[in-house]
Chain A
Amino acid sequence: MAARKMKIRARVQDRGGVEVLVLVRHPMETGLRKDKETKKTIPAHFIQAMKVEHNGRLVAEAELGIAVAANPIMGFGLKDAKAGDKLRVSWQDNRGESGAMEHAISLD
């Protein structure tokens, strides 16, 4: 099965912080919708956890529920970060699917 598309953008901002934006192509299905044709409930399928590592250290971890929007763009902030620093963002969903991506912080 192909990995879900993931994108990371991390740029040093004017104020000196770094905003990390992470996009994952994921349906974030609530489990509350019914298929219009079959009338069957579409099972829940959503990212439950996302971890952000900066130069190998876990610096933030988000836990998500069904009310996070589909194809979520999640934003995090880093302190004491500079261009070239390594980031790793990983996620896991309620069906045991997971994904991860590494990224180097760039200059704006």
Chain B
Amino acid sequence: MTDLRRRDILRTAAMGTALAVAAGAGLLQPRRVLAAWPAKVFDAKDRDSAVKALFGTSTVHSSDKISFNASPQAEDGSSVPVSVTSNIPGTDAIAVLVHENIRPMTAWLKIGEASPYFRLGIKMAKSSKVEFVVRAGGKLYSASTTIKVTAGGCGG
């Protein structure tokens, strides 16, 4: 083929590749692209709304069968490690809420055959109650702790 035609084809192929790479890198997607991600749950501005948006009710029963590891004091609010284990039979979800954050719902775990255990680092804007809400057998259970933050970690 002629040089000119070959260049056209190569240019088109390169653009196609560039588009594919850009798409793969997420550069072409709108900001909040995952249709399945529950924005209503994560954008809720108070604890009750967040729990209700996720689980359908904000009523929880306190439980001593939820154990957790969380230091009562955090030097750096930008990364506070917490872990939680539910010993309630039939646990199928664990949610972590930071009451004083603008949007309390931090993360939640849908549990199939995994153990009812969840560990993560959380950002805390300031000292706050941190609550673990467990769903088991269709009911909600909860345990909380207060973590004092010396240097808050959400803002720039």
Contacts and interface: CB of A to CB of B under 8 A. Distances in A.
Interface stretch (B6-14, B58-66, B97-105, B140-148): B97-105
A79 B120 contact: no
Given A32-B155, A75-B117, A93-B26, A69 B34 contact: no
Interface in B61-110: 78-81, 83, 85, 98, 101-103, 105-110
A30 interface: yes
A76 B114 contact: yes
Interface residues of A, number: 47
A54 B24 contact: no
12 contacts: A1-B25, A30-B123, A63-B37, A63-B41, A66-B42, A68-B107, A69-B153, A74-B119, A75-B83, A77-B115, A94-B34, A95-B31
Interface of A: 1, 17, 19, 21, 28, 30, 32-36, 42-44, 48-49, 52, 54, 57-70, 72-80, 92-97
